[in-house]
Structure 1
Amino acid sequence: MNEEMLKTLLQSVKLGSCSPDEALQELKDLSFENLGFARLDHHRALRTGQAEVIFCQGKQPEHIITILTHLGAKSQNVLATRLEPASAEKVLLHFPNAHYDSLARCLLLNPLAEPTISGRILIMTAGTADLPVAQEAYLTARYMGHEVDTLFDVGVAGIHRLLVQRELMDRAEVLIVVAGMEGALASVVGGLVEQPVIAVPTSVGYGAHFQGLAALLSMLNSCASGIGVVNIDNGFGAASLASAIIRRISK
């Protein structure tokens, strides 16, 4: 929405020919910024509650830098996901104060702020090899303003490590369970808690796990109820769903 259109809309609200709610609805459908190679959705947060995030896989570093510059001009913070270290080096030359996490392959334009939304998310992993996906979920949830707890390496091969953590599980509003191999941890957790459980299969395991397909199918076939499943290695998607659930509850 350009300046002239915004002035017209505000004038309509003043004159009473357009209600504030109608104006808000119109703003939700606008606007984007055309960079030629990308069309940036500056009003996504207004429509959905979650701002546009840069998915860096397949993008040239120069394009990422330009998108960060334009999104950063309209937002206090920007999240970029799946940013490989080689590309991150070039990006950080332009944004030396940005925070890059090489494990999660995520970049935050500004350091993480204090949580702004009540309601806690717990991110759990079956094993240490699942940490990159869990860290992506962690940074995404923190970026979106949530309090986040973590509980790592509590897989079913040593189930006693999980069972002593009931207090930590009980105080979370949503649990994200990240697991590879056969993905059994999600079903176990789903059978222990009353909160929503978001399962994230990872591409971790031996040959027959088929790059995470075995864990995905196991989670989809869980005999525990109340479990939702996102795509393989999709820590970002899991955190986004958890955020949507908590924000809706808080309304």
Structure 2
Amino acid sequence: MRADEVRSLLIAVREGRISPDEAVASLRRLPVDDLGFAQLDTHRELRQGLPETIYAEHKTPAQTVAIAERLLAGTTGPVLATRVPPDSAAMLVARRPEAIYHPVARVVVVRSESEPAPLGLVAVVSAGTSDQPVAEEAAVVAEACGIKVERVADAGVAGLHRILAARAPLDEADAVIVVAGMEGALPSIIGGLTGAPVVAVPTSVGYGSSFEGLSALLGMLNSCAAGLVVCNIDNGFGAAMFALRLLNRKRA
């Protein structure tokens, strides 16, 4: 349930369209919906402004579909699943034809944010083509939550002119998500080029001593660009949620 849904419920009581008892019955379903194998936090969006999202990896297709169906029934907001295996995506799209599967991002968006105007602009910059799955996870999730996204692909530090040629979206963005593997240097470069909040996402892309993203993570944590925020390895979703928190506050 969302804040605007609670507000609408209270207005309906005030205007006599529903009774106080009916409103109490609607609120009584909060904040947990017990499915047996999962307990859905139906109050999360009301508290945090962030939709509860299905992490589909290691869930069965039937579990993913059941959770999605219950979330759809309980909110008018976006419903999405991340790290979705192909068999789960196929079942979810078969059950819900309006669902859209993004195979590169491994994200299924069943319902997007319906706000007519975007919350703001986020630039999603990836250092290399191999970083695209993580960058797309961030971009698709952000778009589903009502954020306008500008993608800048393959702009790593090995060819610095590429990021310098993309200054316009960096200057215009309310926040910048930077996705990089290898040594993870790109967020520091971008942090020195823009005054927008920069969210760095290390990826597990790289050769042996990259230690599956640990090298990039440590490089970003030790950035000399002040105020850089760093997410976990391959966590494009977390970067999108941080951007959503920022923009929700801006809107408030």
With the length of structure 1 as denominator, give the TM-score of the two structures: 0.86
Match of 2:36 in 1: 36
Match of 1:20 in 2: none
Hey, what's the Cα distance between the residues in 1 that align with 2:28 and 2:144? 22
Match of 1:68 in 2: 68
**Deviates most, 83-92 or 101-110:** 83-92
Match of 2:232 in 1: 231
Contact preservation (8 Å) 2:201, 2:230: yes
Hey, what's the Cα distance between the residues in 1 that align with 2:58 and 2:203? 21
Which ranges in structure 2 are unaligned for 5 or more consecutive residues? 15-22
- Give the superposition deviation at 1:29: 11
Aligned residues: 232
**Deviates most, 112-121 or 226-235:** 112-121
For 1:86, the aligned partner's letter is: D
Match of 1:110 in 2: 111
For 2:225, the aligned partner's letter is: A
Alignment of 1:82-121 (within 5 A): 82-110=83-111, 116-121=117-122
Contact preservation (8 Å) 2:191, 2:225: yes
Hey, what's the Cα distance between the residues in 2 that align with 1:207 and 1:113? 44
Residues 106, 28 of structure 1: alpha-carbon distance in 2 compared, 3 angstrom cutoff: farther
Hey, what's the Cα distance between the residues in 1 that align with 2:243 and 2:113? 18
Match of 1:190 in 2: 191
Residues 41, 148 of structure 1: alpha-carbon distance in 2 compared, 3 angstrom cutoff: same
> Share of identical aligned residues, percent?
49
Hey, what's the Cα distance between the residues in 2 that align with 1:153 and 1:170? 18
Hey, what's the Cα distance between the residues in 1 that align with 2:227 and 2:233? 19
For 2:104, the aligned partner's letter is: L
Match of 1:210 in 2: 211
Contact preservation (8 Å) 1:119, 1:147: yes
For 1:141, the aligned partner's letter is: A
Match of 1:46 in 2: 46
With the length of structure 2 as denominator, give the TM-score of the two structures: 0.85
Structure 1: which 4+ aligned runs deviate by more than 4 Å? 111-115
- Give the superposition deviation at 1:63: 0.7
- 1:123-162 CA distance string (max 9 Å, x none): 0000011110011001111111111111011100000011
- Give the superposition deviation at 1:95: 1.8
